[in-house]
């Protein structure tokens, strides 16, 4: 059910009005980015990157469970004892994930990540301090050169937001295929195809995975393939696509730093169907990814690009070698509690000659001595 489907949206709105009355105010509050329900009597929200406990409550567990059941039905999903987890995109674009007892011991647990209609531009992203002007210019050039980019970060760090912004810098005239579990990416582009996975029915039939969609996409003449989140065996197909002429592919992965992101991608790819050796797989991963962009959620609630790193290959011990092109060397806490520290240029990329040959006037400042 798409967010552009008026019938689906009206069914969802009716379910909201009838069953989510305790949090209607929070859903309407534009300062709230996420609503976290830990059982009927404990509701937190995220505002400005910080968690706050609210006074709102559901009458009891039955009322909360009824709300989740009806929301699931309104979007064509199910949640019950056999399938105690719900992961869905709501018709208004928001994301909901729920886990019910006995898996959730405190009562039905729900996270609603709200959808904001306001489009974020690269310029705004820089104005917020999430990325430096130099870093934005470099990533813009990397997109135009068709570099394969992995966006790495923790949960809620802003990986999807940054991936969408990078997609906005794809040069015109290409065919882009976007593959996601639940559609979140906002990609404004002339020629873009969106694919979304499908859960199995109650009999275990009809499932369509990211891996299935990635295999199909390779037969649909893509110029670039974008995977919203790489979380399983589809990593192998993505790596092989990157290594077989599909320049400018991208995806996100959960990791704490650029090197760990590469290790994580390899571990996911090992679950693929291929009988490829570990050594060959490591080599393929090291040649597939050009850049890793690390997004970090800091203690003051801010979300920023903390590293832009180039993947240089493998060392003699067959370990991934990355080089920080940009990084935040240190952060200093200000009187208002905010952390201050710039994203600075470090080592220039190895493809600087390619940048200049393509007419991009990128200047690299010499790093200051520590």
Counts for the chain of helices (H) and strands (E), in that order: 11, 17
Helix pair angle (61-74, 6-19), 10° resolution: 180
159, 154, 176: which is closest to 167 by C-alpha?
176
Q: Residue range 337-365: average pLDDT?
A: 92
Q: What pLDDT, on the 0 to 100 scale, is given for residue 112?
A: 92
Q: What pLDDT, on the 0 to 100 scale, is given for residue 198?
A: 82
Residues 6+ apart with CB under 8 A from 215: 237
Cα(140)–Cα(137) distance, integer angstroms? 5
Q: Residue range 39-63: average pLDDT?
A: 92
Domain regions of the chain by residue span: 6-113, 122-357
Residues 6+ apart with CB under 8 A from 148: 242, 247, 248, 249, 250, 288, 289, 290, 291
Q: What pLDDT, on the 0 to 100 scale, is given for residue 92?
A: 73
Q: Which pTM was predicted?
A: 0.82
Q: What pLDDT, on the 0 to 100 scale, is given for residue 1?
A: 41
**Out of 80-89, 133-142, 180-189, 190-199, least confident range:** 180-189
Q: What pLDDT, on the 0 to 100 scale, is given for residue 117?
A: 60
The H-or-E segment that residue 280 falls in is helix 278-288
Residue 195 class from Cβ within 10 Å (0-12 exposed, 13-18 middle, 19+ buried)? buried
b/e map 17-31, b = 16+ CB within 10 Å: eebbebbeebeeeee
Inform me whether the pLDDT recorded for 370 exceeds 90. no
Higher pLDDT, 70 or 17: 70
Q: What pLDDT, on the 0 to 100 scale, is given for residue 87?
A: 83
- Per CATH, 6-113 and 122-357 having the same topology is answered no
Question: pLDDT confidence of 368, banded at 50, 70, 90?
Answer: low
Q: What are the structure tokens assigned to 176, written together?
A: 């882009």
Please tell me the CATH code under which domain 122-357 is placed.
3.40.50.300
Inform me whether the pLDDT recorded for 297 exceeds 60. yes
Q: What are the structure tokens assigned to 115, written together?
A: 């959808």
Q: What are the pLDDT digits (tens) for 140-168? A: 999 999 999 999 999 888 898 899 999 98
Q: What pLDDT, on the 0 to 100 scale, is given for residue 89?
A: 76
When mean pLDDT is compared over 18-22, 75-79, 177-181, the highest value belongs to 177-181
Inform me whether the pLDDT recorded for 53 exceeds 80. yes
Whole-number percent of the chain with pLDDT over 90: 53
The H-or-E segment that residue 111 falls in is strand 109-113
- CATH T-level topology, domain 6-113: Beta-Lactamase (3.30.450)
Q: What pLDDT, on the 0 to 100 scale, is given for residue 155?
A: 83
Q: What pLDDT, on the 0 to 100 scale, is given for residue 266?
A: 94
Q: What are the structure tokens assigned to 313, written together?
A: 């290959």
Contact between 109 and 39 under an 8 Å Cβ cutoff? The reply is yes
Q: Residue range 115-143: average pLDDT?
A: 87
Q: What pLDDT, on the 0 to 100 scale, is given for residue 361?
A: 87
Please give the full DSSP string across 209-237, using - where no structure is assigned: -HHHHHHHHTTS--SEEEES---STHHHH
Q: What pLDDT, on the 0 to 100 scale, is given for residue 137?
A: 95
CA dihedral (121, 361, 290, 218) in degrees, to 10, reads 70
Helix (H, G, I), strand (E, B) or coil at 252: strand
**Sheet containing 320-327: order of strands:** 192-196, 176-180, 224-227, 250-254, 149-153, 291-297, 303-314, 320-327, 344-345
């Amino acid at each position: 059910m798409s967010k552009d489907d008026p019938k689906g949206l009206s069914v969802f709105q009716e379910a909201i009005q009838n069953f989510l009355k305790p949090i209607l105010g929070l859903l309407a509050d534009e300062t709230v980015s996420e609503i976290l329900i830990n059982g009927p009597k404990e509701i937190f929200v995220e505002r400005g990157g910080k968690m706050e406990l609210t006074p709102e409550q559901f009458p009891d567990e039955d009322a909360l469970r009824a709300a989740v059941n009806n929301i699931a039905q309104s979007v064509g999903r199910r949640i019950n004892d056999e399938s105690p987890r719900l992961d869905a995109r709501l018709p208004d674009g928001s994301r909901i994930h729920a886990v019910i007892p006995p898996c959730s011991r405190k009562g039905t647990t729900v996270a609603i990540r709200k959808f904001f209609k306001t489009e974020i531009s690269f310029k705004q992203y820089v104005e917020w301090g999430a990325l430096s002007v130099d870093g934005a210019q470099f990533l813009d050039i990397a997109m135009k050169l068709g570099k394969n980019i992995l966006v790495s970060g923790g949960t809620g760090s802003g990986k999807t937001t940054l991936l969408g912004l990078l997609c906005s810098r794809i040069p015109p005239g290409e065919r882009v295929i976007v593959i996601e579990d639940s559609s979140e990416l906002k990609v404004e582009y002339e020629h873009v195809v969106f694919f979304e996975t499908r859960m199995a029915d109650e009999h275990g039939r009809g499932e369509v995975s990211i891996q299935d969609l990635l295999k199909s996409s390779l037969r649909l003449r893509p110029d670039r393939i974008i995977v919203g989140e790489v979380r399983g065996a589809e990593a192998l197909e993505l790596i092989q696509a990157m290594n077989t002429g599909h320049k400018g592919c991208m995806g996100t992965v959960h990791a704490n730093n650029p090197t760990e992101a590469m290790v994580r991608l390899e571990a996911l790819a090992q679950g693929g169907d291929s009988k490829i050796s570990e050594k060959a797989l490591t080599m393929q991963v090291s040649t597939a990814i050009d850049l890793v962009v690390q997004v970090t959620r800091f203690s003051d609630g801010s979300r920023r690009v903390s590293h832009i790193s180039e993947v240089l290959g493998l060392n003699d011990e067959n370990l991934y070698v990355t080089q920080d092109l940009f990084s935040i060397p240190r952060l200093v806490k200000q009187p208002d509690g905010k952390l201050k520290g710039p994203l600075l240029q470090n080592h220039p990329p190895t493809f600087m000659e390619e940048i200049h040959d393509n007419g991009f006037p990128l200047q690299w400042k010499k790093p200051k001595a520590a």
